[in-house]
Amino acid sequence: MTSIPKQELEYHYTPSRWSHRMGPQQVLESHVKVTSDGTSEAKRCLEVKAGISYGSTDKQKLDVYSRKNSAGKKGSPIFVYIHGGYWQEKVVNRENAGFLAQPLAAAGATVIPIGYELCPDVSLDEIVSEVKKAVCFIIELAKKRQASGVYLCGHSAGAHLAAMMLTDCQDDGELIKGAVLVSGVYDLRPLVKTSVNDALKLTEGDAWRLSPGNVVKDIASRSVDRDILIAVGEHDSPEFHRQSTELEEVC
């Protein structure tokens, strides 16, 4: 648990305030522009099947990116991307999450960004369940394609969700071969005392129950044969560094 005073938590858990080059609003605008432009370029260069439903709601959809004329190729790995946005930012979504597809597709992977409903329209419990449903849907696709493996990647809130899948999604979980967790929050309890929680509405108990840090030993025991990369930005806040370091020490 953090030792940061309550009055400083807001600052430490606002990633856009830690850039050395831009102000907070410019950081967000730049992030959306870079990811949107990258996604547009990926759609121009790759074969894309967009808006595939894995559930019944508008945001329960995924996109499939692959090299042209290679869609469904047997044996290729599947790389799943889960976007961030503190489980609530509407401008960060599946539709601008294809920005990383080109280099991965060039290396032979099928890339699948997934969407999910956002708080406060749904609870964080429901989001975790939605993402589990999406990953299970993708595992079934992987089995049909005889994929060499499924790799999960998430950024920020997406890293939290990807980490939760390492223990939550155990049906045919052996197909999950690895994970890339980027600048994630793995102990949600500090967020309870910040404005992030205005939309999440978490109690301390909810926050810990929904934290990868609460089940980290289970994650580690189930991930002995998985490759897990935990990354954090050089200029991310000390709290983000602490959270990544604590997860890495166990995993």
| 55-105 confidence digits (pLDDT tens) | 999 999 999 999 987 766 678 999 999 999 999 999 999 999 999 999 999
Assigned domain for 1 exists? no
* Gap between the Cα atoms of 63 and 10, Å rounded: 34
pLDDT at 164 over 90: yes
Domain assignment present for residue 54? The answer is yes
pLDDT average, residue stretch 2-23: 90
Residues 191, 197 contacting (CB under 8 angstroms): yes
Domain of 235 in residue numbering reads as 6-250
The reported pLDDT for the residue numbered 171 is: 63
CATH assignment at residue 218? 3.40.50.1820
pLDDT recorded at residue 6: 78
Q: Is residue 138 part of a domain?
A: yes
Tell me: pLDDT of 148 over 90.
yes
Q: Is the dihedral of CA 41, 114, 72, 52 positive or negative?
A: negative
**Is residue 171 assigned to a domain?**
yes
pLDDT digits 0-9 by tens, 206-236: 999 999 999 988 888 888 889 999 999 999 9
Please check the confidence at residue 142 and state whether its pLDDT lies above 70: yes
Instruction: Note whether residue 29 is domain-resident.
Output: yes
Specify the pLDDT at position 251. Answer: 78
Contact status, residue 161 vs residue 82, Cβ threshold 8 Å: yes
Q: Is residue 165 part of a domain?
A: yes
**Averaged pLDDT of the chain:** 94
Q: Which residues lie below 8 Å from residue 211, measured CB to CB, with a gap of 6+?
A: 160, 186, 187, 188, 189
Other Cβ atoms less than 10 A from the Cβ of 204: the count is: 11
Segment 118-138 mean pLDDT: 98
CA 73 to chain centroid, in Å, comes to 25
pLDDT of residue 58: 95
Query: Is 37 a member of any domain?
Result: yes
**Is residue 241 domain-resident?**
yes
**Number of separate domains in the chain:** 1
Which structure tokens are listed for 160? 């939290």
Q: How do residues 168-210 score in pLDDT, each as one tens digit?
A: 666 667 899 999 999 999 999 999 999 999 999 999 999 999 9
- Percentage with pLDDT > 70 across the chain: 96
